[in-house]
Structure 1
C-alpha cells in the first residue's frame, strides 16, 4: 500500500516535470489512461483540483503547488529512508553504544571502533567509560548495546550473558632508568619497589589483590594512588617508580621508550577481558561487526600470550 502511494506521488511529480499526462506516460512507460486515473485518485484524496488546463499543457493550481512541494519532500525523505535501511542491512550505518571499564575504554576499544567507523561510514558510535559494575548496569537497563569490561570475581553479570574473551598479562611498567635493573622480577622483589597504584577499592585494585593473595604474596605498598592510567604512567616515568598494568596500557609507551616492560617471573598476573550483553539482544549488522572484531582480537591475543609463555617458559 505504501509503495503504491509513493508511486502515485512520483507519477504526480513526473506530470508536473513533463508538463502533461502524455509525456509523463511516455517517460514512465505506462498507458496514458492509467496516469489520468491516478491523478484523479490523488485529487480525490487531496479534496481539491491539482491541475488546470493551460493551452496544451497542465498547470498547477494553488492547491497543486502546495501538494507538489509536499510530495517532493515525501519522495526525497522516502529515498533517504531506503538508503538508511539498505545501509543498516549492510552494516555501514546505524548506532552502536558500548560501555567499558576505564583502561579498556581508554586504550583497547577506541582503536577497534575507529577502524570500524572507517569501514562503515555513517555509523553513530558512542563509548561510555566507568567502573565495570556501572558498565554492566548500563547494558542491563538498555543504555548500552554491550559492555567490554574487566572480568572481576565480584561482578554479578546476571541477567546478562557473559563471555570471557581473553586474559591480558599484567606487567611491571618501569621508568627507562629506574629499578629494577633486569627485564624480569619476582613478586618478592616487586614488593620492595616504589609503586604507583590505582585508588583503593576500584575493580582493578580488588582483582590484583585477589591474584597476589592466591600466589601467597602480601599487599603491595604504594607511594601514591592515582585515578587514571595516564597520570600513573607519567608519575612512573618522571620519578623512577613502577606500576602494574595490562600490557596493552603501556605498549605505546614501551615502543616509544618512555617506559620499560618488566615481566613477573614467578606469577601469572592477568586482567580478564569480558564481553557482556543482554540475553535477548538482537545485534544489528554494525553491532555484530563490533563483536566480531572483539572476538578476532581475542583470538590473536590468546595466541600471542600462548607463544610468549611457551618462549619464556619451555
Structure 2
C-alpha cells in the first residue's frame, strides 16, 4: 500500500459511499464528477485494490471497499477529534467540542446552555449533533463526537465509555387544558390505565423508556391512541384532545407556562430519569471540554 494517501481522498471516497454514487458525491462536495472519479481511481491505485463494482446502474462496495470505508471513517473521525483536542489545549475558553445528544435534549434542554456557553466564551466552537438514542454511543466510540448528553437509564460502561450524572429530568403527564380533572392533589397512579395516550412509535427507544417508567409505576397495559416520532407532534395531538402524554419537562416547560397544556400531577409518584455527560473512557478531554461539562452540571443544578 502506498502510504501517500491524503485525507481529502478519504473524504471523497466516504462521500461516494454515503451519498450513494459519484454524481451525488460531486454535488455534495461542489466539484465535478470527473474530479470525484479521479480521486477514486487514484485511491484504488495507491491501495492496490478495487473499491467498487457495478451492479446494473449501482456502484457497490467490494469486500476491500467495505474494509477501506470503515478505516477511512475511523481515520477521518480521529483526525477531527485531534483537531478539536489541539484547539482546546488552552485555559478552557477556546477550542471545539462536538456533542452527541437525542432529540428532546438537543431541542429543549441543551440549546440555552450551549448558547450561553458560547456567549461567555466567544472562542468556543460547539457542534451539537442530534441522533437516535441507539446511535449516540457509536458517535462517541467512533470519535465523531467528544461528549454525549443523553437522558438514559444508565451508561453502557461495557462499550468503553465513562461519564457522570449531571442532573435529572422529570417525566410530566400532560393533557389539553381542563381535559382531565386533576383535583387538588393530582390523580393516583392507578387511574392512568383508564386514560387514552399519545406516545412515540412502539419500535423507538423513547417508547421503551416510557414503557419502563410506566412499568415501574405498575402500569403494563395502557391505551395508545396515536403515535408520533417528535415531541412537537405529540404535543399537537394532546392539545387537540386525543389523549394525555408523558413527556420530559424540558419539552413542555413553555407550553405549561403559557397554559396551552396542563400538567397532571401524580399523587403518589414522581417519574424521572437521570441526565449524564458521557465520553470515551480512553479519551483525553481538553480544557474546554472539561469546562463545558462543569457548566452543564451547574446548569442542571445537581
1:264 alignment partner, SS class: coil
Unmatched runs of 5 consecutive residues or more in structure 2? 1-85
Identify the residue that residue 192 of structure 1 maps to in structure 2: 194
Identify the residue that residue 293 of structure 1 maps to in structure 2: 295
Q: CA deviation at 1:88?
A: 5.5
Identify the residue that residue 118 of structure 2 maps to in structure 1: 117
Distance in 1, Cα, partners of 2:156 & 2:164: 13
Q: Which aligned segments of 4 or more residues in structure 1 are displaced greater than 4 angstroms?
A: 85-88, 153-157
Identify the residue that residue 305 of structure 1 maps to in structure 2: none
Q: Per the alignment, do residues 281 and 188 of structure 1 end up closer, same or farther by CA in structure 2, a change over 3 Å counting? A: same
Q: Per the alignment, do residues 181 and 213 of structure 1 end up closer, same or farther by CA in structure 2, a change over 3 Å counting? A: closer
TM-score normalized with structure 1 length: 0.63
Distance in 1, Cα, partners of 2:119 & 2:88: 14
Q: Deviation digits for residues 50-98 of structure 1, max 9, x if unmatched?
A: xxxxxxxxxxxxxxxxxxxxxxxxxxxxxxxxxxx99862433311100
1:150 alignment partner, SS class: coil
Q: CA deviation at 1:189?
A: 1.6
**8 Å CA contact 2:113, 2:299 repeated in 1:** no
Identify the residue that residue 215 of structure 1 maps to in structure 2: 217
2:159 alignment partner, SS class: coil
**8 Å CA contact 2:102, 2:150 repeated in 1:** yes
1:205 alignment partner, SS class: helix
Identify the residue that residue 139 of structure 2 maps to in structure 1: 138
Q: Deviation digits for residues 149-199 of structure 1, max 9, x if unmatched?
A: 121369565200032323322111111131234361222222222211011
Q: Per the alignment, do residues 133 and 152 of structure 1 end up closer, same or farther by CA in structure 2, a change over 3 Å counting? A: farther
Q: Per the alignment, do residues 235 and 168 of structure 1 end up closer, same or farther by CA in structure 2, a change over 3 Å counting? A: same
Distance in 2, Cα, partners of 1:166 & 1:229: 21
**8 Å CA contact 1:150, 1:272 repeated in 2:** yes
2:90 alignment partner, SS class: helix
Q: Per the alignment, do residues 156 and 223 of structure 1 end up closer, same or farther by CA in structure 2, a change over 3 Å counting? A: farther
Distance in 2, Cα, partners of 1:92 & 1:293: 12
Distance in 2, Cα, partners of 1:281 & 1:86: 15
Q: Per the alignment, do residues 96 and 154 of structure 1 end up closer, same or farther by CA in structure 2, a change over 3 Å counting? A: closer
**8 Å CA contact 2:198, 2:242 repeated in 1:** no
**8 Å CA contact 2:187, 2:266 repeated in 1:** yes
- In our comparison, the structure showing a higher alpha carbon Rg is 1
Q: CA deviation at 1:297?
A: 2.7
Identify the residue that residue 233 of structure 1 maps to in structure 2: 235
* Number of aligned residues: 216
Unmatched runs of 5 consecutive residues or more in structure 1? 1-84, 303-314
Q: Deviation digits for residues 23-74 of structure 1, max 9, x if unmatched?
A: xxxxxxxxxxxxxxxxxxxxxxxxxxxxxxxxxxxxxxxxxxxxxxxxxxxx
**8 Å CA contact 1:195, 1:243 repeated in 2:** yes
Q: Per the alignment, do residues 97 and 233 of structure 1 end up closer, same or farther by CA in structure 2, a change over 3 Å counting? A: same
Q: CA deviation at 1:249?
A: 1.4
Distance in 2, Cα, partners of 1:164 & 1:91: 21
Identify the residue that residue 12 of structure 1 maps to in structure 2: none
> Among residues 266, 273, 276, which one is paired with 1:271 in the alignment?
273
